[in-house]
Structure 1
């Protein structure tokens, strides 16, 4: 009798673990994050079942055209490619994507503002061109500033 209870309890626990893990997959949501240096863009539409995302470039600072976008998209199903639609004032025939925000690949337009990105993980960075942030520039300048043939000076002063 005690053995049957133990088997039932193990079966119930296994079933509960299966239900809980399946529920987390059912309620997974795609998120679009641009809250990092150089980040720009918001999600206009996401479809978790189809791995589809529509991002829109934001006007920031004194921008007059929505050109730039640079976002991290998470909560994707890595078994499917990402179908990405981009709304920006100018969107070229290629965009770049990265899984680690360091190594970047290009992808080309599949049709009118839509790109297909093969996935290797559940998140990917996407940008209109290879991101080059203020921190990148400061690092590059500091790396060459001690060279005898380099003079570092201000070209312009930004709002920030």
Structure 2
């Protein structure tokens, strides 16, 4: 095993060597031990790709559960929008924005087919009141099943809050 700090990612990377003879049956244990502390990679490229897929799927499922619990606490879970198979991303994000009480097209945009991100002008300091609802809603729905991903683009620092 090798441990290093990656300046670009600003994260500790733990690389598991081939000699460790790890297989997919250990992924849950590895993820639980490393989550929030370090990024995990494998010297074996095939195992690394399998772990990334596993980590993404578990992370999305965890995020959906947390988000749905938040909406349940707010008494909003039963009002979550529904989506049709093959529904365009533009329609789905408009429904989410309307559900959270803002004008469609205000918070999200499709950067390119298959990737939805937050509109730069929506990201302000302090965050807009609807932001919490919007981000939980995007976590609560299975965007990949709808045919798109939700994420943030770039690593630019938010503008400083104006006094």
Q: Which has the higher strand share?
A: 1
Same fold (TM over 0.5): no
- TM-score (normalizing by structure 2): 0.23
